[in-house]
Amino acid sequence: MSFFVLCDKEKFQNNVERHINIMAENGFSKYLTIDLGSKKLILFNDLSGNTPALKEAENGDFIVSLGTFSYKGSKSLLGLSSLLNNFNAETFTWQEMTGTYVVILRKAGCTYLISDGLGCSQIYVDSQQCVYSNSFVSMCDITEPKFFDTQACYEYVINGAVFGNKSLLKGVSTLPANSILKITSQETQTLQLTSPVLDSDDCAAHMTLDQVASYHCKQLDCVFEPVASAYGDNIKLSFSGGFDSRLSLAMLMRHGVKPKLFVYGNDNDEDVVIAQTVAKAESLELECINKSKAPVIEPDSYNEITQANFYAFDGWKVEYGIFDFGTDRSDRLKRHANEQIPLNGSLGEIYRNFFYIPNKKMRAQDVVSTFYSQYNRSAFSSTFKETEYRQEMAACMKSAINSSNEHLERYQIEQLYPHFRGRFWTGRDAQLNQRFGKMLFPFLEPAAISNTSKIPLNYKDLGYLQGRMISQVNSRLANYPSDYGFSLNGARPLKYRLKTFLSTQRPPFTRKLSFRLKNRHKETPDMPLSQPYLSRVIDEDFPIMRNLFNIDLINSAKQYGLIATLEYLGERYNLEVK
């Protein structure tokens, strides 16, 4: 996603100029600066060189979209012009807007900042409301931060993402979901609006499995038809042996698209074998990508590569740290070669029981134990207050679904998947992917998410609903093998049903302990995190992060990489742990 900086003219100007230069050095060239009186808006191209879409009116009003955006099915400037003409903050709705995007709109002397309907494209603001951006590193470079946000650091290392309206920096926050920022010369207002994600009480209450499948296939038609019309065979689908990419392929083919497929792994990996089977049978082009064959670099080059990773991935990646030999960055950029538009099936689990939680009420704290307690307490310093961490996570969950109750109804737990996990984890990854070029995430669309939380759980269990949806759209695709060991609309073997049942019925306290059991022994980090390389980019004693973690007791290689990412961030900006 191309990005923007909106800032006061009089403050941080030397920092802004330095930031423009360093972003250019790292592949993000400045596109345009727009004078807004006391403020200025700076627009940047993405790493593929795509410019933000800009439409200016004769009276000086304008509208800009960054990322993948369409209005009333139009991805052209006509769509932007229509939105500018129709826009009214009091009656605004996301229903006719699709994509993962930020829209900046100037009308009648007011500037409006608008994120997508789920709020995946985070917009950051400093505590003095002098700087706004959809880029975290822009806030780092410009606003002179002093301190880490301790809770955010723990959330990142435990869960691979940051939740709520906080960021990794004290004094830098993000806009709430379904809000518009309205900026005038006198004041800044956050306008809180209604979510475009609908949850009808009776949508699936008396429907059969086939009826529910048919309903949600029609909902997906509203998402995939304009995508197919706009991008056609330029779409490049991330494929695997699972449900989400198979449903995506079925919907694309239903709307006349023959996408190119790409899959990750070596020749013997199950995902690759299944992708080859499907591609051959359906006469689809397939690219197999084996990242393990990436060349090893010399340690002397590692500092330059790490800085390029840092800016490409906006300071931090979900789940994994920024440290590799440039492989991930290069791969994501190559996806966009020859004007191809990658499509990813992330968040397709809205049709499945993602959390593997029984069909009953549960305390928010129990959801934290079940899914957000991947840590060993002894590996954290005395700064870690477990009760405070858990309370903050539970509070963020309840806020995400507008609940004030400690006990959550089962459908509310289903709501957490798109509105909490989806927005802050999947959404962050979607936002990062679009720094490389336009990309499609159909299951992040409100039209896809709407009315999925109250689907009977026995339909979601074992992937029955999603398998039936695939079969209704394209029965042939449903009958190919999957990496579950059965065709996606076929019978579920007893062994698989028993394994899923036992996993679902595990009490929360045992789920909390599972991470410690799996990580009793220290894992060997990948080569980019080994001493000859890591010592080139950070102090291996971790002088900043040692305030939060007992580094020698971190057994998980993944968490070690996340902590190293925070250390790199801290040393780069002289941040402290308060």
**Mind listing the pLDDT tens digit for each residue in 170-188?**
999 999 999 999 999 889 9
Q: How far apart are CA 259 and CA 261, in angstroms?
A: 6
Residue 458 lies in a domain: yes
Number of domains composing the chain:
3
- Alpha carbon 259 to chain centroid, angstroms: 23
Q: Give the pLDDT mean for 18-47.
A: 97
DSSP output for 374-395:
---GGGB-TT--HHHHHHHHHH
Q: Quick one: pLDDT at residue 205?
A: 74
Residues 136 and 285 in one domain: no
Q: Is 518 exposed, middle or buried (0-12, 13-18, 19+ CB in 10 A)?
A: exposed
- Contacts of residue 552, Cβ cutoff 8 Å, sequence gap at least 6: none
- Alpha carbon 399 to chain centroid, angstroms: 19
Could you say which of 158, 192, 226 is where a domain stops?
192
| Residue position matching structure tokens 């026995």 | 458
Residue 231 lies in a domain: yes
Q: How far apart are CA 257 and CA 232, in angstroms?
A: 5
Q: What average pLDDT does the chain have?
A: 95
CATH classification at residue 256: 3.40.50.620
Q: Give the pLDDT mean for 284-307.
A: 94
What residue type is 71 in one-letter code? Y
* Residue 139 half-sphere exposure toward CB, CA atoms < 13 A: 29
- Contacts of residue 59, Cβ cutoff 8 Å, sequence gap at least 6: none
Residues 555 and 447 in one domain: no
- Contacts of residue 70, Cβ cutoff 8 Å, sequence gap at least 6: 79, 97, 98, 99, 226, 230
CATH classification at residue 8: 3.60.20.10
Residues 523 and 551 in one domain: yes
Q: Is residue 5 within 8 Å of 133, Cβ to Cβ?
A: yes
Residues 19 and 47 in one domain: yes
442-477: per-residue pLDDT in tens? 999 999 999 999 999 999 999 999 999 999 999 999
Nearest to 323 by CA among 564, 87, 521: 564
Structural domain boundaries, residue 239: 209-359+409-503
| Residue position matching structure tokens 């220290």 | 522
Residue 34 lies in a domain: yes
Q: Quick one: pLDDT at residue 457?
A: 95
Residues 132 and 52 in one domain: yes
Residue 383 lies in a domain: no
Q: Quick one: pLDDT at residue 476?
A: 97
Nearest to 229 by CA among 341, 138, 149: 341
Q: Quick one: pLDDT at residue 82?
A: 94
pTM of this structure: 0.96
Residues 328 and 413 in one domain: yes
Q: Quick one: pLDDT at residue 282?
A: 98
Residues 522 and 449 in one domain: no
Could you say which of 192, 225, 244 is where a domain stops?
192
Q: How far apart are CA 101 and CA 127, in angstroms?
A: 24
Q: Is residue 233 within 8 Å of 473, Cβ to Cβ?
A: no
Q: Give the pLDDT mean for 151-158.
A: 98
Q: How far apart are CA 556 and CA 516, in angstroms?
A: 10
Residues 316 and 431 in one domain: yes
Residue 400 has a CB neighbour count (10 Å cut-off) of: 23
Residues 237 and 186 in one domain: no
Q: Give the pLDDT mean for 525-553.
A: 97
Residue 145 lies in a domain: yes
Residues 136 and 262 in one domain: no
Residue 374 lies in a domain: no
Q: Is 358 exposed, middle or buried (0-12, 13-18, 19+ CB in 10 A)?
A: middle
Residue 404 lies in a domain: no
DSSP 149: -
Q: Quick one: pLDDT at residue 151?
A: 98
Residues 572 and 428 in one domain: no
Residue 213 lies in a domain: yes
SS3 content of the chain, % helix, strand, coil (to 5): 45, 15, 40
Q: Give the pLDDT mean for 136-158.
A: 98
132 DSSP β-pair partners: 6, 125
Q: Is 88 exposed, middle or buried (0-12, 13-18, 19+ CB in 10 A)?
A: exposed
Could you say which of 478, 503, 528 is where a domain stops?
503
Q: How far apart are CA 126 and CA 146, in angstroms?
A: 12
Residues 292 and 355 in one domain: yes
495-535: per-residue pLDDT in tens? 999 999 999 999 888 888 889 889 999 999 999 999 999 99
